[in-house]
């Protein structure tokens, strides 16, 4: 589509750390590989420190900078606000942006509490009525293998879902000398492994099965309760400073739940799984077949077709790089794998497609709220000794 | 060791179906590959049907037959009773045999209830005082990779255990047309997936970590509640007969628990995991490293050493077929894998070594009872909506 | 089948080291799991040292001993001679046994030279005319996954074979301090990696494809030419003695060839592949699909069906433990894997079935000769700088 | 580094198909994640069709277009010519560019013949003397796992190299209905699987081991000799047109060779390996350890340390996403994998670093020539029945 035929979409991004870098790469790359129906522009990036945000803008490719996100709402050249800040700021920014008529892409978790997430969802619904759109950034949904998994479930290829087994395992906190950072501070991050990575596991389980968790039993644990104070905050872990402070979030969460269709789902989220770097594992066992995925081998989906002759049946290792796989035709020939950041590019593609088509994007804030409610139920269950807790 | 120097051990086995075939192969094979300190003899096999037990004796290599297990207790040429019958018969046979001064090897689960298991354990302790020994048949402990795992934990190579992830997944009940069998009858089998295969998962978790589960939260589910009545009982599943009957045991169990050392353990046992045939998976994450095992690749143990330079660290795929691996020196050169039945042979080897040395064998009936108490706690938790239930 | 209805088959085995132990286990085990049409008896074992062969007989379960293999030919209670000695003795024993009217099972490689193998094959063909049978022991053919692979090729599931990739990799000679043994002595072993393990790779490639190699280009290499002299010969490697001696066989062989159907086949055999313990890898790529096997995961066959929708196509990991897989119904339920020695048991089963049915067993001595001719062509090619050499 | 401090590097790219898209993504992305010492600009892209090249420029992000590559040599704002056209054009463009004082990045294979590659290498050496640099695009060298493999070999961690096993397997030509394209035309492509993908296998083998192939024995094969004529040329395969034409290149190449250090190397390149999409497999067995890589799991390197206690030794699955792994620190946290195109970005980074530092980049045209000479030796060997052919 020629430029003349395409409306402009000016994007303003708030925050430019890990998530900001991933989102920037997506905004830069999406129009190069996909025929976007809108002419996206990386109009402004926001950070509190003028010098640092200017550096970031130059490095990441943003045209201008602001030191207060509220400025974005006043600018006519901003059509969409992309929120890449810690969870405690999401509600305020997102609600204000939506009320100012700006579309919003908000990183997950949607908020640090159900109450905030409810306010955001209400704001999103009001905005939706005015054609102002919102999306929460569960980017792992955009891994081609995950999209394929959802398609196969929807096509009935695994039959009735009996079991979901979802784990998100990392090990970056295993060393007690790793200092505190905002991710270990409940007031900033809302929760620990549960909200940061368990949220993804919950969203993927619900997304791929097309079902909701109706209740859970769970337990949370903080293995290392005191850590050195960080001198500065860089990367996931920061650098060591002086003295120690208290970890106010969970290091690990273990829970199981019941799906709306009657199946059993088990979950684990941990930052203490030695040797597991970013192992998002999802296994689904149904009455007709099974699926298995591990993000450490992200271009592969394993599929067992239980209707086949047992003599030749087996989990197929589908290398999800064929032109008929989701998103793949825009990229490289078969066998040329994609990486982590491609999910963010696909997120931009889907969002822009929806904006141009006047469709409500998914996952919506309501979807983010649904995940938040599951996380909240897990926390409440944990407080109650793991008792059954409805979502 | 020459025959003259070795005392004789006359074995009488009760039951000759799946487990009986495995035990027979073990009794036949152990003295061929290992230097046993006793001269084992396959003296008698017991079955209710005289003709069928005679066939079994001929096929499996037993010297004589009985149609009543009580006869074994009267025979002087029987030193050990090997119980391979369904769980509802274990208590009566085992207690009587121990009281008659016969050593006992009893298949798992030790019993169908905690009460029975307690009686058996008490009997075993009384017998022990008289030098009469007992062992429960958690044979998966004897897989070399599992023994190696336990050694590595005991050596501190994974550090403090943070997570255990244990699953035992099968799929042989996934077809609703699969008929009823004793394994689906609570009065015979005690429980379903929980007791049949979950018991192994619990035992392995406790055995490998050297820790006990102190409490659990769990849920049980029966996905298919009515099944055709079986015309006969052969193999795991029987053959279809007339009418339908009710499944009175669980098809799947999902639970998590707390280890005595403070770690979190999660469990799943299911006969509805399409494509998973006998997937006993055990993963342990500790403060210094991790271990992972899957019985579908039973000659392999994966080990991550978290103390190594991150540049070359990774899960090692240890092919557990080296002469310095447990049991292996007696078998084949490196890379020549063992199979399912070798665990039974190793069980015989360890048992006979202990008998000759005058040591109490492990796992003891008390170990079997410990597993039973966990299973019982899971059932009670499930009845109580998954609430925390102490073991 | 009752004993009365079955003719007796008296077996005499020559040699009782590694192969003798494996064969003994097979003769002991086959009648326990399979309904053999003949009543096999482990009648006699032969070794030069009377005391050691007596020990072996007791340990391995043979009824009597001899110190000269010629005695077997004179005994009426011996119907079959099972040859488990080094390759330099095969021709003499096998030919004499066949001429004496004894069936022969001969370990591979059939002989140490084509000339010997030709004499043996001629003897086998003369014997065959008199109903005296012979078989060469390529036991890896009897791994269920390999049998399944052959079936799938024969059914046309991979289409026209384009590529065969066969490797047999070990690492037990990698240490230059490993002493000399008969396996490193050309006069005893005939050749090194080529004949010992490359022979299996060649046989499997021909067996699974159903095609013959018509010519080869190859090279042999001896990486470590001097080794310590062994004090004694035990296991694969012996123990170190005094002084050094020359290795007179190859450490590794690399070659490729042309199949009778036009496909390309590449081969490697090495005892210097660090970390590969007994990695027999076979990959077949055809016009409609592919197969892949690795003995280090021996209960698995990978199969790619190229006729499937590319969206769900992928190599299936078939766990070859289903009742409809070759040999498996006699063993354990699905997912309960077999081990190295089961191939020897299957060999006995097939051989006894053929003897009872009056069929010529396979692989025949002619098949062994065919492999020998390929090995010979590789050696000649290597001598000629790797030039094309017809088989 | 601030813009003012950095010299500008104007890039002109010739060709904008598959390779052009990959190179464009690299030029766009490199400065966003890495601190490049030069200020790269995507100044011009060249294509014969003015309209199509204009489209490509807009889509891929180039500032201007040309329809004749010679124009680049006249433009002062072009400092480097990036050649992404088929192999038959490389020599003319590269030599002219170097003589015009432009640095050159040339896609592989360097040329379609040794003669051309020699001329290019001579030109590169003359240019080098004037500070004009050249590099050939063996991008798979820039996969972090491959770089790590080379480091481990260089550090002596595998010891003396005994075996290299390198395969590059694809299956996109397996369907005889796939039409002709320039890649199947000897006059355009030089050779088939050998030059297109075998070239990568040869380069990786030499790069990772740090050794050269000194001679080879090989064979080439064309399985499907007639194919439909393509109506147009898009993607790897084009679309079907009218009539058939002759395939003038090889579909597969199988060869082995001798390394300068005495090791044996075996190679396969095929576009007929059903189910293998882009399987670049490299295995190295040395006297102290082994390495294994498969591009279908590109973020992983398997490493066996043969000096370890055999009890815990095993191939480690190193997830090559740690900050201390090559290139990785610039990207994402551990476990967040990279994709195919990242190798091209790393190529730009290394090239720009070398240009700024006044170093000769690697791989040089001489390295490309070395690969070409191996390919030529394989072709000559194949013509001579696979006879030993020195490189």
Work out the angle between the directed axes of helices B114-129 and B365-383 (0-180°, nearest 10). Answer: 170
Summary mean pLDDT of chain D: 95
Q: Alpha carbon D3 to chain centroid distance?
A: 31
CB of A165 within 8 Å of any CB in chain B? yes
Q: What is the pLDDT of residues A278-336, one digit of tens each?
A: 999 999 999 999 999 999 999 999 999 999 999 999 999 999 999 999 999 999 999 99
How far apart CA C174 and CA B255 sit, in angstroms, is 48
Instruction: Please tell me the pTM assigned to this model.
Output: 0.96
CA-CA-CA-CA torsion sign (D125, D131, D137, D139): positive
Give the residue on D whose Cα is nearest the Cα of C176: D287
What's the pLDDT score for residue C1?
A: 47
Q: What is the pLDDT of residues C21-33, one digit of tens each?
A: 999 999 999 999 9
Question: Which chain B positions have a beta carbon within 8 Å of D334's beta carbon?
Answer: 310
Q: Is a pLDDT exceeding 80 seen at residue B234? A: no
Question: Cβ(C229)–Cβ(C245) under 8 Å?
Answer: yes
Residue A211: both structure tokens together: 């079902």
How far apart CA B129 and CA B123 sit, in angstroms, is 10
Dihedral angle computed from the Cα positions of residues A168, A170, A174 and A180, in that order, rounded to the nearest 10 degrees: -90
- Label each residue of chain A as H, E or C: CCCCCCEEEEEEEECCCHHHHHHHHHHHHHHHHCCCCEEEEEEEEECCCHHHHHHHHHHHCCCEEECCCHHHHHCCCCCEEEECCCHHHHHHHHHHHHHCCCEEEEECCCCCCHHHHHHHHHHHHHHHHCCCCEEEECHHHHCHHHHHHHHHHHCCCCCCEEEEEEEEECCCCCCCCCCCCHHHCHHHHCCCHHHHHHHHHHHHHHHHHCCCEEEEEEEEECCCCEEEEEEECCCCCCEEEEEEEECCCCCEEEEEEEECCCCEEEEEEECCCCCCCCEEEEEEEECCEEEEEEHHHCCEEEEEECCCCCCCCCEEEEECCCCCCCCHHHCCCCCCCCCCCHHHHHHHHHHHHHHHHCCCCCCCHHHHHHHHHHHHHHHHHHHCCCCCEEC
Total Cβ atoms within 10 A of residue A162: 27
DSSP annotation string for B299-336: TEEEEEETTS-TTT--EEEEES-STTSTTGGGS-STT-
Q: Where are the beta strands (DSSP E) in C67-122?
A: 80-83, 103-107
- Residue A336, CA distances (Å) to A53, A351, B251, C223, D212 in order: 35, 25, 41, 37, 28
How far apart CA A263 and CA A213 sit, in angstroms, is 9
How far apart CA B215 and CA B374 sit, in angstroms, is 8
Question: Which chain C positions have a beta carbon within 8 Å of B16's beta carbon?
Answer: none
Specify the residue for token string 């002084």: C243
Which long-range CB contacts under 8 A does D323-332 form with residues at least 24 apart?
D323/B310, D324/B309, D324/B310, D324/B311, D325/B311, D325/D144, D325/D147, D325/D148, D326/D144, D326/D147, D326/D148, D326/D151, D327/D142, D327/D144, D327/D147, D328/D144, D330/D33, D330/D34, D331/D33, D332/A18, D332/A22, D332/A340, D332/A341
What's the pLDDT score for residue B237?
A: 53
Question: Cβ(C12)–Cβ(C101) under 8 Å?
Answer: no
Residues written for chain C: 391
Averaged pLDDT, B244-254: 96
Q: Is a pLDDT exceeding 80 seen at residue B236? A: no
How far apart CA A51 and CA A43 sit, in angstroms, is 18
Q: Alpha carbon B252 to chain centroid distance?
A: 18
Chains with at least 3 CB pairs less than 8 angstroms from chain C: A, B, D
What's the pLDDT score for residue D240?
A: 57
Out of 3.40.190.10, 3.40.50.720, 3.40.190.80, 1.10.260.40, the CATH code matching A7-140 is 3.40.50.720
Q: What is the pLDDT of residues C120-176, one digit of tens each?
A: 999 999 999 999 999 999 999 999 999 999 999 999 999 999 999 999 999 999 999
Question: Which chain D positions have a beta carbon within 8 Å of C174's beta carbon?
Answer: 287, 306
Q: Which helix (H) or strand (E) holds B246?
A: strand B239-246
Specify the residue for token string 């590989």: A33
Q: What is the pLDDT of residues B260-302, one digit of tens each?
A: 999 999 999 999 999 999 999 999 999 999 999 999 999 999 9
How far apart CA B151 and CA B155 sit, in angstroms, is 6
Chain B nearest C-alpha distance from C230 (Å): 18
Residue B266: both structure tokens together: 């999660």
Question: Cβ(A165)–Cβ(A213) under 8 Å?
Answer: no
Residue A241 binned pLDDT confidence (cut-offs 50, 70, 90)? low
Q: What is the pLDDT of residues B314-334, one digit of tens each?
A: 999 999 999 999 999 999 999
Q: Do D217 and C221 touch (CB under 8 A)?
A: no
Question: Which chain A positions have a beta carbon within 8 Å of C302's beta carbon?
Answer: 314
How far apart CA A130 and CA B128 sit, in angstroms, is 80
Question: Which chain A positions have a beta carbon within 8 Å of B288's beta carbon?
Answer: 274
How far apart CA A185 and CA A229 sit, in angstroms, is 11
Q: Do A311 and C322 touch (CB under 8 A)?
A: yes
Strands B7-14 and D315-319: unpaired
Question: Which chain A positions have a beta carbon within 8 Å of B167's beta carbon?
Answer: 165
For residue B121, whether the previous peptide bond is cis, meaning omega lies within 30 degrees of 0, is: no
Residue B1: both structure tokens together: 């060791």
Question: Cβ(A361)–Cβ(A131) under 8 Å?
Answer: no
Residue C269: both structure tokens together: 């055999």
Task: Look at the domain D142-362+369-390 and name its fold.
Answer: Dihydrodipicolinate Reductase; domain 2 (3.30.360)
Q: Do B285 and A256 touch (CB under 8 A)?
A: no
Question: Cβ(B391)–Cβ(B129) under 8 Å?
Answer: no
Q: Which residue has the higher pLDDT, A233 or A163?
A: A163
Those residues with Cβ within 8 angstroms of residue D172's Cβ, 6 or more apart along the chain or in another chain: A333, A334, D178, D236, D237, D271
C317 closest CB neighbour out of A310, A314, A325: A314
What's the pLDDT score for residue C183?
A: 87
Question: Cβ(C67)–Cβ(C49) under 8 Å?
Answer: yes
Residue B365 binned pLDDT confidence (cut-offs 50, 70, 90)? very high
What's the pLDDT score for residue D1?
A: 47
How far apart CA C46 and CA C66 sit, in angstroms, is 5
Out of 3.30.70.20, 3.40.50.720, 3.30.450.40, 3.40.1380.20, the CATH code matching B3-140 is 3.40.50.720
Q: What percent of chain A has pLDDT over 70?
A: 96
Q: How many CB pairs under 8 A join A and D?
A: 107
The closest of D370, C74, C72, A199 to C82, measured between CA atoms, is C72
What's the pLDDT score for residue B183?
A: 87
Q: Is a pLDDT exceeding 80 seen at residue B160? A: yes
Work out the angle between the directed axes of helices A18-33 and A342-357 (0-180°, nearest 10). Answer: 60
Question: Cβ(A322)–Cβ(A334) under 8 Å?
Answer: yes
Domain residue limits, chain C = 3-140, 143-350+369-390
- Residue A382, CA distances (Å) to A114, B161, B240 in order: 16, 21, 45
Q: Alpha carbon A181 to chain centroid distance?
A: 20
Those residues with Cβ within 8 angstroms of residue B175's Cβ, 6 or more apart along the chain or in another chain: none
Chain D nearest C-alpha distance from A89 (Å): 23
Residue segments in chain C with a per-residue pLDDT below the cut of 50: 1
Q: Is a pLDDT exceeding 70 seen at residue D111? A: yes
Averaged pLDDT, D151-176: 97
Residue A371 binned pLDDT confidence (cut-offs 50, 70, 90)? very high
Question: Cβ(B206)–Cβ(B305) under 8 Å?
Answer: no
B60 closest CB neighbour out of C24, C32, C321: C32
Summary mean pLDDT of chain B: 95
D316 closest CB neighbour out of B157, B315, B325: B315
How far apart CA D229 and CA D238 sit, in angstroms, is 9
Q: Is a pLDDT exceeding 80 seen at residue B2? A: no
Out of 3.30.360.10, 3.10.20.30, 1.10.510.10, 3.40.50.300, the CATH code matching C143-350+369-390 is 3.30.360.10
Q: Do B274 and A285 touch (CB under 8 A)?
A: yes
Q: What percent of chain C has pLDDT over 70?
A: 96
Averaged pLDDT, A179-196: 90
Averaged pLDDT, B20-47: 97
Residue B188 binned pLDDT confidence (cut-offs 50, 70, 90)? confident
Q: What is the CATH number of domain A143-362+369-390?
A: 3.30.360.10
Q: Do D339 and A335 touch (CB under 8 A)?
A: no
Q: What is the pLDDT of residues D16-53, one digit of tens each?
A: 999 999 999 999 999 999 999 999 999 999 999 999 99
Averaged pLDDT, B154-161: 98
Q: What percent of chain B has pLDDT over 70?
A: 96
């Amino acid at each position: 589509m020629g430029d003349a035929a395409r409306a402009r979409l000016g994007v303003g991004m708030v925050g430019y750390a890990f998530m900001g870098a991933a989102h920037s790469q997506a905004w830069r790359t999406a129009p190069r590989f996909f025929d976007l129906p809108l002419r996206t522009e990386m109009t402004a990036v926001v950070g509190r420190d003028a010098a640092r945000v200017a550096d970031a803008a130059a490095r990441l490719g943003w045209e201008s900078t602001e030191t207060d996100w509220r400025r974005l709402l006043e600018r006519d050249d901003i059509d969409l606000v992309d929120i890449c800040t810690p969870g405690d700021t999401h509600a305020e920014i997102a609600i204000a942006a939506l009320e100012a008529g700006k579309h919003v892409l908000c990183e997950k978790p949607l908020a640090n509490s159900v109450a905030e997430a409810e306010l955001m969802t209400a704001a999103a619904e009001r905005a939706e009525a005015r054609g102002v759109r919102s999306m929460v950034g569960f980017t792992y949904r955009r891994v081609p293998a995950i999209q394929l998994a959802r398609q196969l479930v929807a096509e009935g290829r695994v039959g009735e879902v009996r079991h979901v087994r979802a784990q998100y395992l990392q090990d970056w906190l295993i060393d007690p000398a790793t200092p505190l950072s905002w991710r270990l501070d409940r007031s900033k991050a809302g929760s620990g492994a549960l909200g940061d990575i368990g949220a993804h596991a919950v969203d993927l389980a619900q997304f791929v099965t097309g079902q909701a968790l109706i209740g859970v039993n769970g337990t949370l644990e903080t293995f290392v309760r005191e850590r050195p104070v960080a001198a500065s905050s860089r990367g996931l872990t920061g650098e060591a400073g002086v003295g120690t402070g208290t970890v106010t979030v969970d290091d690990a969460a273990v829970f199981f739940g019941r799906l709306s269709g009657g199946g059993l789902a088990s979950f684990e989220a941990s930052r203490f799984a030695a040797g597991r770097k970013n192992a998002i594992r999802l296994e689904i066992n149904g009455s007709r077949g099974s699926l298995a995925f591990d993000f450490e081998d992200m271009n592969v989906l394993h599929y067992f077709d239980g209707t086949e002759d047992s003599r030749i049946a087996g989990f197929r290792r589908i290398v999800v790089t064929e032109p008929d796989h989701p998103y793949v035709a825009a990229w490289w020939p078969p066998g040329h794998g994609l990486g982590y950041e491609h999910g963010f590019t696909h997120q931009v593609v889907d969002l822009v497609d929806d904006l141009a088509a006047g469709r409500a994007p998914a996952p919506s804030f309501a979807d983010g709220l649904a995940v938040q409610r599951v996380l909240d139920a897990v926390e409440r269950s944990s407080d109650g000794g793991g008792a059954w807790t409805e979502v």
